[in-house]
Structure 1
Amino acid sequence: MNTIKTPIIPIKKTFAKVEGSHELNLEAICVFSAIGFFLDTDTYWRDEITLAPGTKYVLDKDSYLLESKKWFQWHYSPRAISFEDALREFTKLLETIIEEQTVGKKVILPLSGGLDSRTQAVALREHPQVKSYSYAFEGGYAEDKIGKKIAEKCDFPFQSFSVKKGYLWSCIEELAVINTCYSEFTHPRQMAFIDEFKDLGNIFSLGHMGDLMFDSFGLDQLSFDEEVQVIIKMLLKKGGLELATSLWNSWGLEGIFENYFESRIRDLLKGFKIENTNAKLRAFKTQYSVVSWSSNNLAVFEKVLPITLPYYDNRMCEFICTIPEEYLANRQLQIAYIQQKAPDLAKITWQGNKPFNLTNFHLNKVPYNLPYRVTNKLKRELNSLLGKPFVSRNWELQFVGKENDKQLRKWLFESDLKELVPNVLIQQFYDNFKEKNAVKYSHPVSMLLTLALFQKKFNK
């Protein structure tokens, strides 16, 4: 027998066998197509599940599930503490976790224009061996310039990478093996320069999950039915419902996909004994979206070197459950931490509020931001006229342009995808992407591409 205790936020999937026939779980694949990840413990197969977070399992020698019991339940138990006390606790906890994870290591720190990696940079500032990097889309916003400024203030050696147009096609089969086709392929941008990581250090310090933990959805208290609808809207990708419904109908599944999906969300949301709407939605998204989507893409980093994630630590999860929601809203704890410990970093542009920074982002409103917005719009329009359209979305690098289209068509129409998805549907969603609305139909096309790789690599 094998006993497994999963962490609150697992970094990687662990699979177990259950009773049933070894056939595709078509209902689960429809949900996957709609939202971009498998819901709960679903997998591609009816006789296989993933182990849920925060749970103790007993498996037999052949990995069949014998019993399970939750050891952690998300909760909202806010303490009567001041913001200053919460900040002191956050500071000590974050710095303790990062020190434990990185002591004696040569740390690689990805730096973005946001807050999570900047918060880590503050905690790692006195670490003797940190190298950093950032990247920018070819033809997109120069996010690496912000990363470079942060690195310079911290005296971190810095390297800038460019995410080139069409990089995916030379590594898509390798990526399919790395993420096992449990998430689509346009988001792991690190694949564009994965071979260059090894020279930077021997361990990653990654900031995933910080933006969810240290913010609030900003919603009033909602009824259960309203919460269900918010989650459905939050999870469904553009064009995802249309693709899932088309697959559901083409496979002759019973009932209506939309009803099935809502029923699943209702059942899962009932499992959270949290009254506060914002805390409940954070718990739901962490347990299902983060675990099944964000964590799956971490495999790209792990392919090269070990990874550490301070915000994934069980102690950080427990801490969040006890902090009043008003202290978590609007990234207050992270901003106050940076302002207090590294005011020079606080004065560097915050990408989400550019051109403002952590000391004046409250001015990101009319009329104060009008000069930047007007100038930026004119610059984009001029570049577009010059044949240099601005790139801001992952799929634009992979699906737009003649060579990209050639590769995309090869995988959609010259692969075994047609054995799983009727060719008429493949053609329909491809045509919708090309001729109707590329933004809306980029997700369905990306999911069909994922299923094409699944068919080649795992469904033989």
Structure 2
Amino acid sequence: MKEISTGIIPVFPSFYKVKDAPSEPDLKAICIFAAIGFFLDQDTYWKDEKVMRPGTITSLDDHGCLINSASRFEWYYQPRQISFEQALAEFTSLFEHIVKDQVQDSPVILPLSGGLDSRSQALALLRLRNEVSSYSYSFSGGYPESKIARKVAEVCKFPFKEFQIPAGYLWQELDELAQINKCFSEFTHPRQMAVLPELKNMHGIFSLGHWGDVLFDKGAPEDLTEKDEVSHLLKGVVKKSGMELAVSLWEAWGLEGRFEVYIKERISDLLSAIKIENSSARIRAFKSMYWAPRWTSTNLAIFASANPVSLPYYDDRMCEFICEIPEAYLANRRLQLAYIKQHKDLGKITWEAHKPFNLNNYPFNKVPYNLPYRVISKVQRESAALVGKKYIQRNWELQFLGSKNEQNLLNYLYEDSFKEFIPPTIVKEFYKKFKEEDGVQFSHSVSTLLTLSVWNKKFNHGTAN
């Protein structure tokens, strides 16, 4: 017998086999993947393979089949009667203690962005005096995200590298990416694949800021009904055109009932099992149980293929801390903002979500104060368009647009064996909508079909039928 304990937010998935279940694709699970971009709860591509739930202790037999599983942690909301200053002091101590525990005295590799999570880590690492090398990347022809990251590195005196994500890199990296993430997320999101060789040449432990933005913000308005909570989650997780693709697959495969009812019932059942009354805390718990492990964690394996990883916001102690902090202190990133602003120069750097404003003046990111920036930004985009340049905002634009990219994409979408799994009429319909109607709206569906094509070719030994 083998016993496995999973983290409250697992960094990597742990799998088990379902005894006597058929070894065939789980079509209902794949439909949910098509709708939301990740597998829900314990689902995988297969009926006889499941993922262990977060915060559990699971016993397996010698064949990897489930014997039993018991919870070791349940999300809760019991806010302590403490001042904001006390909460900030506790967070500061805990966060820096966790970072130190995770990296010890090792050199650290810090990916920097224009947001708050990596900036909070920069401050912690600066105080801990570890050897830190930092980097960031921007899309070729897009917003220079690295400009903000470079300023953070300069303030902290960290060595810094800037990478450009080039057009069409995906097709050279697709086979390796599929082996790393096993097709558990669509392929246009993990842009770190474009610079993986460079990451492998770095030395140290990655300190990754994933999930800080969810833990340290409100999950939802606090007075929602349970019905409203389900609607709120569906609105948050279902991708543009994802529901449309999932319904098409559900009907093509002849599955019983209606997909819209099925996914709503799945989410409602999972949400009902979380015994928290406060809507904001309850939805944060839901996201941390089902979204973080199955979406956010999926591509951490890419970083791990280059160097060891550490994630301070994933730490069990951080999750337990969150359960006892009043929602008013978590909402609107209050604790993270106050922590970073302890270093005056870091607080003066632009916050990408509120550019061109910084951590001190971001409340002015509203009309009329932000009008000059919005006008200038629009003029720059329109000027670029006039000379034939496209302002790149999303990775799929670099990987799907243009004749070479299009040919590579079509080779996968119309691959012979894929026609046996997903009807070509569905592929043709969604690709046509992507090309002729709305690329932004249908990019998720096309990327999902690409992912399913690669999975079908590499891992599927049967077809839908």
TM-score bucket of the superposed structures, by smaller chain? over 0.9
Residue number among 144, 147, 161 corresponding to 1:145 in the alignment: 147
Aligned residue in 2 for 1:455: 456
Instruction: Give, in whole Å, the separation in 1 of the partners of 2:131 and 2:118.
Output: 16
Q: Secondary structure at the match of 1:432?
A: helix
Instruction: Give, in whole Å, the separation in 1 of the partners of 2:417 and 2:140.
Output: 32
Instruction: Give, in whole Å, the separation in 1 of the partners of 2:159 and 2:38.
Output: 36
How far does residue 304 in structure 1 lie from its aligned partner after superposition? Answer: 0.8
Instruction: Give, in whole Å, the separation in 2 of the partners of 1:56 and 1:220.
Output: 32
How far does residue 411 in structure 1 lie from its aligned partner after superposition? Answer: 0.6
Aligned residue in 1 for 2:381: 380
How far does residue 242 in structure 1 lie from its aligned partner after superposition? Answer: 0.6
Instruction: Give, in whole Å, the separation in 1 of the partners of 2:367 and 2:437.
Output: 33
Aligned residue in 1 for 2:18: 18
The 8 Å contact of residues 54 and 71 in structure 1, kept in 2 or not, is answered as yes
Q: Name the aligned partner's letter for residue 419 of structure 1.
A: E
Aligned residue in 2 for 1:214: 216
Normalised to the residue count of structure 1, the TM-score between the two structures is: 0.99
How far does residue 198 in structure 1 lie from its aligned partner after superposition? Answer: 2.9
Instruction: Give, in whole Å, the separation in 2 of the partners of 1:363 and 1:233.
Output: 28
2:7 counterpart of 1:7: yes
How far does residue 415 in structure 1 lie from its aligned partner after superposition? Answer: 4.5
Q: Name the aligned partner's letter for residue 247 of structure 1.
A: L
Instruction: Give, in whole Å, the separation in 1 of the partners of 2:339 and 2:17.
Output: 45
Aligned residue in 2 for 1:114: 115
How far does residue 188 in structure 1 lie from its aligned partner after superposition? Answer: 0.6
* 1:279-318 equivalences in 2 (<5 Å): 279-318=281-320
Residue number among 242, 248, 251 corresponding to 1:249 in the alignment: 251
The 8 Å contact of residues 415 and 452 in structure 1, kept in 2 or not, is answered as no
Residue number among 336, 339, 356 corresponding to 1:337 in the alignment: 339
Equivalent residues, number? 459
How far does residue 388 in structure 1 lie from its aligned partner after superposition? Answer: 1.1
Q: Name the aligned partner's letter for residue 18 of structure 1.
A: V
Q: Which runs of 5+ in 2 are unaligned?
A: none
Instruction: Give, in whole Å, the separation in 2 of the partners of 1:68 and 1:337.
Output: 38
How far does residue 419 in structure 1 lie from its aligned partner after superposition? Answer: 1.7
Q: Structure 1 pair 161/264, CA: closer, same or farther in 2 (3 Å)?
A: same
The one-character-per-residue Cα deviations of 1:292-327 (angstroms, maximum 9, x if unpaired) are: 011011011011111000000000000000000000
Instruction: Give, in whole Å, the separation in 2 of the partners of 1:237 and 1:207.
Output: 23
Instruction: Give, in whole Å, the separation in 1 of the partners of 2:460 and 2:175.
Output: 14
Q: Secondary structure at the match of 2:193?
A: helix
Instruction: Give, in whole Å, the separation in 1 of the partners of 2:419 and 2:399.
Output: 22
The one-character-per-residue Cα deviations of 1:225-245 (angstroms, maximum 9, x if unpaired) are: 111111111111000111000
Q: Which runs of 5+ in 1 are unaligned?
A: none
The 8 Å contact of residues 415 and 453 in structure 2, kept in 1 or not, is answered as no
Q: Secondary structure at the match of 2:390?
A: coil
Aligned residue in 1 for 2:51: 50
2:63 counterpart of 1:62: yes
The alignment-based identity, stated in percent, is: 55
The 8 Å contact of residues 3 and 57 in structure 1, kept in 2 or not, is answered as yes
The one-character-per-residue Cα deviations of 1:363-384 (angstroms, maximum 9, x if unpaired) are: 1111111111101110110001
2:272 counterpart of 1:270: yes
The 8 Å contact of residues 134 and 147 in structure 1, kept in 2 or not, is answered as yes
Aligned residue in 1 for 2:42: 41
The one-character-per-residue Cα deviations of 1:373-427 (angstroms, maximum 9, x if unpaired) are: 1011101100011111111112111111111111110110125221210011111
Normalised to the residue count of structure 2, the TM-score between the two structures is: 0.98
The one-character-per-residue Cα deviations of 1:172-217 (angstroms, maximum 9, x if unpaired) are: 1110010001111101111111001133322100000000000114
Q: Name the aligned partner's letter for residue 159 of structure 2.
A: P
How far does residue 55 in structure 1 lie from its aligned partner after superposition? Answer: 0.5
Instruction: Give, in whole Å, the separation in 2 of the partners of 1:220 and 1:61.
Output: 46
Aligned residue in 2 for 1:192: 194
Moved over 4 A (4+): none
Instruction: Give, in whole Å, the separation in 2 of the partners of 1:263 and 1:335.
Output: 37
